[in-house]
Amino acid sequence: MTEPTDIKKGLAGVVVDYTAISKVNPDTNSLLYRGYPVQELAAQCDFEEVAYLLWHGELPTDAQLAEFQALERSLRHLDENVKRVIDDLPVTAHPMDVVRTAVSVIGANDPETANSSRDAELQKALALFAKLPSIVAYDQRRRRGEPLIEPRDDLGYSANFLHMTFGEVPDLVVVNAFDVSMILYAEHSFNASTFTARVITSTLSDLYSAVVGAIGALKGELHGGANEAVMHTFGEIGSADKVADWLDAALAEKRKIMGFGHRVYKNGDSRVPTMEAALDTLVAEYDAGDLMELYTALKSDMQQRKNIKPNLDYPSGPAYHLMGYDTETFTPLFVASRIVGWTAHIMEQRASNSLIRPLSEYNGVEQRTVPDSEKN
Ligand SMILES: CC(=O)SCCNC(=O)CCNC(=O)[C@H](O)C(C)(C)COP(=O)(O)OP(=O)(O)OC[C@H]1O[C@@H](n2cnc3c(N)ncnc32)[C@H](O)[C@@H]1OP(=O)(O)O
Ligand SMILES: O=C([O-])CC(=O)C(=O)O
């Protein structure tokens, strides 16, 4: 009989490596990207500058930013073979499956897939960053029976993303709220999807394979899929006056309330106040007081009943809903942002690699012999 092992289910509380990309500190309720508080970045920078920071470790100079933006804008178009593969998928396919497939096709068509030098991986990361908005916007449009809108190289990342989705650039307040959401979603240390990308990279697999795996991990409701689930919850509840009864029944059934709780933050997610401020601007823009009443009622009842606070997916879901995104598109929007964090971690893992391979404690039947009769 072996000694009982101290098993860390879900790797909770386990520190598995160093990272210089971001610091999540639940004690001070803070999140730093390369040393900068994410709230300050959201207030003062565009998403493109934050992407540059996460990949290169420093904010860009004006000249570096201009070069970076020009390159990003030149890479936004989708190749015909990618469009064809998307067109061949049923409109009933979940958009996360479409995004996952499109990234896989881009990887299969890239003659440099096996080149994992830092320069080659930066180039691939930037190309995915530039193309994901085209994929996500196109998929929402084709599900609505609308034609593809080509990217515009006179627009910044967020304005172009919204234009490709809706056929117009919305008011600045909407573009800013969208840009803030992209910055807040971009990176969060060793979360499940990033860790998936690092595990795949640790086998010396390629960047596209790691990203495809990460998309699969993000899809689940306990991770990125929660932003969609929040809108489904709101739909189920209906209005603020029904929150108390709905929550009674849901908690009695031991349901997890989506958009609440976090593995690392136990006293509130550092990003929520910034996203709530952006949501407030959208509520004013779209005159969506009813939605906000429901939002506030569920948040305060969860606090009173369970002392559990919202995570970033709670304000992001309704924000994307107000902008006009279909609920199923919310997690692909998360992909478009998190591609930055994933690829930064892929490069960091590769630069200091060790195969990720934990142990397990066997608790199946003891060794036994196959009965002779089963072979006859
Ligand atoms: C961007 C992101 O990925 S943020 C996360 C998005 N995911 C969600 O919003 C899904 C809903 N939340 C959850 O399921 C969880 O809070 C998780 C998975 C995010 C974190 O979970 P863990 O750290 O594993 O905590 P765990 O699930 O063990 O919860 C601890 C306790 O709080 C309760 N709890 C935690 N979150 C919730 C929730 N959202 N609703 C109801 N109860 C909850 C659990 O039931 C458990 O209670 P118990 O001790 O009485 O059994
Ligand atoms: O850190 C986590 O476990 C989940 C999360 O908030 C994120 O990935 O943004």
Tell me the average pLDDT across 268-283.
97
**What ligand 2 atom has the least distance to the C-alpha of 263?**
3
Rounded to the nearest 5 percent, the helix, strand and coil shares of the chain are 60, 5, 35
Q: Tell me what pLDDT residue 4 has.
A: 57
The answer on 235 and 215 residing in a single domain is no
CA of 59 to the centre of ligand 1 (A): 35
The answer on 267 and 340 residing in a single domain is no
Residue 25 lies in a domain: yes
Q: Tell me what pLDDT residue 161 has.
A: 98
**Pocket flag, ligand 1, residue 317 (CB < 6 Å):** no
CA proximity to 255, closest of 221, 225, 300, 223: 221
Say how far apart CA 303 and CA 67 lie, in whole Å: 47
**What ligand 2 atom has the least distance to the C-alpha of 190?**
1
Q: Is the per-residue pLDDT at 2 higher than 70?
A: no
Q: Is 321 a catalytic residue?
A: no
Q: Residue 195: nearest ligand to its CA?
A: 2
Say how far apart CA 22 and CA 36 lie, in whole Å: 9
Ligand 2, atom 1, residue with closest C-alpha? 191
120 CB-near residues (< 8 Å, 6+ apart): 112
Q: Which residues pair with 31 in a beta bridge?
A: 24
Residue 152 lies in a domain: yes
The answer on 211 and 282 residing in a single domain is no
**Pocket flag, ligand 2, residue 274 (CB < 6 Å):** no
Residue with tokens 């879900």: 10
Q: Which residues pair with 22 in a beta bridge?
A: 33
CATH number, domain containing residue 290: 1.10.230.10
Total domains, the chain: 2
Q: Residue 194: nearest ligand to its CA?
A: 2
What confidence tens digit (pLDDT) does each residue in 50-100 have?
999 999 999 999 999 999 999 999 999 999 999 999 999 999 999 999 999
**Pocket flag, ligand 1, residue 256 (CB < 6 Å):** yes
**What ligand 1 atom has the least distance to the C-alpha of 261?**
16
The answer on 63 and 185 residing in a single domain is yes
Q: Residue 186: nearest ligand to its CA?
A: 2
Tell me the average pLDDT across 302-311.
97
CA of 192 to the centre of ligand 2 (A): 7
Least confident of 28-32, 33-37, 97-101, 314-318: 28-32
CA of 149 to the centre of ligand 2 (A): 32
**What ligand 1 atom has the least distance to the C-alpha of 256?**
40
CA of 314 to the centre of ligand 1 (A): 13
The answer on 347 and 314 residing in a single domain is no
**Pocket flag, ligand 2, residue 264 (CB < 6 Å):** yes
Q: Tell me what pLDDT residue 19 has.
A: 98
Residue 316 lies in a domain: yes
Find the catalytic residue in 46, 179, 313, 321.
313
**What ligand 2 atom has the least distance to the C-alpha of 192?**
3
**Pocket flag, ligand 1, residue 310 (CB < 6 Å):** no
What confidence tens digit (pLDDT) does each residue in 317-362 have?
999 999 999 999 999 999 999 999 999 999 999 999 999 999 999 9
Q: Is the ipTM of this complex over 0.95?
A: yes
The answer on 35 and 71 residing in a single domain is yes
Q: Which domain holds residue 157?
A: 17-220+328-351
pLDDT band for 373, please (50, 70, 90 cuts): confident
Ligand 1, atom 3, residue with closest C-alpha? 223
What confidence tens digit (pLDDT) does each residue in 204-248 have?
999 999 999 999 999 999 999 999 999 999 999 999 999 999 999
pLDDT band for 297, please (50, 70, 90 cuts): very high
Say how far apart CA 176 and CA 27 lie, in whole Å: 29
Residue 356 lies in a domain: no
The answer on 188 and 86 residing in a single domain is yes
Phi, psi (degrees; rounded to nearest 5) at 132: -60, -40
Q: Is the per-residue pLDDT at 375 higher than 70?
A: no
Residue 108 lies in a domain: yes
Residue 80 lies in a domain: yes
The answer on 339 and 312 residing in a single domain is no
What is the reported pTM? Answer: 0.97
Which stretch of DSSP H or E encloses residue 233? Answer: helix 226-237
Q: Is the per-residue pLDDT at 1 higher than 90?
A: no
Find the catalytic residue in 262, 269, 301, 321.
262
DSSP secondary structure code for residue 260 in this structure: B
The answer on 258 and 187 residing in a single domain is no
CA of 274 to the centre of ligand 2 (A): 16
Ramachandran assignment for 372, one of left (phi > 0), alpha (psi -120 to 50 degrees), beta (any other): alpha
The answer on 181 and 107 residing in a single domain is yes
Residue 11 lies in a domain: no
The answer on 266 and 252 residing in a single domain is yes
The structure tokens listed for 226 are 């929660």
Say how far apart CA 155 and CA 218 lie, in whole Å: 28
**Pocket flag, ligand 2, residue 191 (CB < 6 Å):** yes
Say how far apart CA 197 and CA 213 lie, in whole Å: 6
Residue 51 lies in a domain: yes
Q: Tell me what pLDDT residue 47 has.
A: 98
Q: Is the per-residue pLDDT at 114 higher than 50?
A: yes
Ligand 1, atom 19, residue with closest C-alpha? 262
What confidence tens digit (pLDDT) does each residue in 154-213 have?
999 999 999 999 999 999 999 999 999 999 999 999 999 999 999 999 999 999 999 999
Q: Is the per-residue pLDDT at 376 higher than 90?
A: no
CATH number, domain containing residue 155: 1.10.580.10
Pick 375 or 58 by higher pLDDT.
58
The answer on 88 and 55 residing in a single domain is yes
Say how far apart CA 181 and CA 312 lie, in whole Å: 9
Q: Is 94 a catalytic residue?
A: no
Residue type, 281: T
pLDDT band for 5, please (50, 70, 90 cuts): confident
DSSP 268-337: --TTHHHHHHHHHHHHHHHT-HHHHHHHHHHHHHHHHHH---B-THHHHHHHHHHHT--GGGHHHHHHHH
DSSP 112-176: TTT--SHHHHHHHHHHHHHHHHHHHHHHHHHHTT-------TTS-HHHHHHHHHHSS---HHHHH
